[in-house]
Amino acid sequence: MTTAEMFNSHPSETRLDRELLTRTVDALLSCAQACTVCADACLSGEEQDARMGECIRTDLNCADICATTARVLSRHTGDNAEVARAQLEACVQACRSCGDECERHADHHEHCRICAEACRTCEQACRDLLATMP
């Protein structure tokens, strides 16, 4: 809600579709937040085998990359299309990797199941936005 209002009040033109941009930024913020809590929940779990270590690591990478991608997209005007595109592509990789990893634990950990969903939604939003970029 705030995201849409803020983009609508921005004085500059952009070649990106504002509705799609808003949806992507909101998906990025939700995904970053889900990954941060998922990493913490994995740390608190009983079964701390090597596999959960890998899940925490992909969570942390995905949280950092989604947060940075949301910021780059929030500075969407100007001449930075190449940077935004490359960052979105890195984000697609991070969301795919984290979605795959969390899905492996979805049956045992509700937090991994929800986080995997947030990653899939975010990956798709990034792909949709990339498809509209020149």
Compute the least distance from the CB of residue 132 to a second copy, in Å. Answer: 19
Q: Does 107 bind a second copy (CB under 8 A)?
A: no
Site residues (CB under 8 A) for a second copy, limited to 74-93:
74-80, 82-83, 86-87, 89-90, 92-93
Binding to a second copy by residue 102, rule CB under 8 A? no
| Token pair belonging to 94 | 């991070």
Q: Which of 15, 53, 132, 133 binds a second copy (CB under 8 A)?
A: 53
The reply to whether 43 sits near a second copy by the rule CB under 8 A is: yes
CB of 120 to a second copy, least distance (A): 12
Q: Which of 98, 86, 103 is nearest to 122 (CA)?
A: 98
13: CB partners within 8 A, 6+ apart: 77
DSSP 8-state class, residue 117: H
Cα–Cα distance measured from residue 48 to residue 50, given in angstroms and rounded to the nearest whole number = 7
